[in-house]
Amino acid sequence: MATGRKIIVVDDAAALAIAAADRVLARIGSDPGRIAICLTGGSSPTQLYEVLGKPPYQSRIPWDRVHWFIGDDRFVAVSDPLNNMNIARQIFLDRCAPAANIHPIDTQAHSPDEAAALYQRLLLEFYGADRLDPARPLFDLVLLGVGPDGHVASLFPGYPAIEVTDRWVVGVPEAHVAPFVPRVSLTLPALASCREMLFLTAGSGKRPILTRVLGGEDLPANRAHSRDGETVWLCDRAALPENFRA
Ligand code: 6PG
């Protein structure tokens, strides 16, 4: 659970987007080769996406060598406003990244399970092996938000998907919170295979769940951490529980 978590506090959501963008750039700069970034859904990353897609960040990203994945998606049409990768594409990816470097979950598949199997295959091919080697993480950076029930990606508390260790991607037939559409999600071991896991939490709406997370409850958000790298929680002041504010 939550091993070696580092908490970084910033003033507000705008500062959080800048701090996150700086970490994205630092992560890209730490390796001259191919970079794999796993994006997240929901509203938490949208300001970050806006920052990445415009100067000065846009021109500092070597787009040709950065590959963009998604940690979970809603099983809706690719063009649906609820589709997580669609949101990232609209805000910055389609304008900035080569199409071949954008790797969405195929939500046109017959079922969430089939979409999960297809995405797992895509990840295996990208990684070049079917076993995750701790010395060579799948992702350089994994971004995550946290839901009101403590879920991350589409790994909801008490659902079987949270316990899956023999697959990298799973279908999730029912969501625990809105939007109530089936999901496809990376599993904890796949998300954990990263040099850095970066949580984005801003606004007073996140304070109740952050209070529970930092209180050490057994929640998906506390089970998610980078296996051998850094786990960083970027929080703005409004999201921080009272007892952490001092
Ligand atoms: C999703 C997400 C999910 C999200 C959290 C936080 O598809 O819904 O990936 O895990 O990150 O629910 O959502 P918000 O950022 O909207 O608060």
Torsion of CA 210, 216, 222, 223, to 10 degrees: -170
Partners of 155 in beta bridges: 152
**Atom number in ligand 1 closest to CA 154:** 10
Q: How far apart are CA 153 and CA 219, in angstroms?
A: 13
Q: pLDDT, tens digit, for every residue of 204-234?
A: 999 999 999 999 999 999 999 999 999 999 9
pLDDT band at 243 (very low <50, low <70, confident <90, very high): confident
Q: Is 131 exposed, middle or buried (0-12, 13-18, 19+ CB in 10 A)?
A: exposed
Lookup: tokens for 156: 């909801």
**Which residue has the CA at smallest separation from atom 12 of ligand 1?**
147
Ligand 1 pocket test, candidate residues 39, 44, 169, 187, most atoms within 8 A of CB: 44
Q: Which residues line the pocket of ligand 1, CB cutoff 6 A?
A: 40-44, 72, 74, 84, 145-147, 151-154
pLDDT tens digits, 92-107: 999 999 999 999 999 9
Cβ atoms of residues 4 and 225 within 8 Å = yes
Please tell me the pTM assigned to this model: 0.97
**pLDDT tens for each residue of 152-191:** 999 999 999 999 999 999 999 998 888 999 999 999 999 9
Confidence band, pLDDT 50/70/90 cuts, at residue 1: low
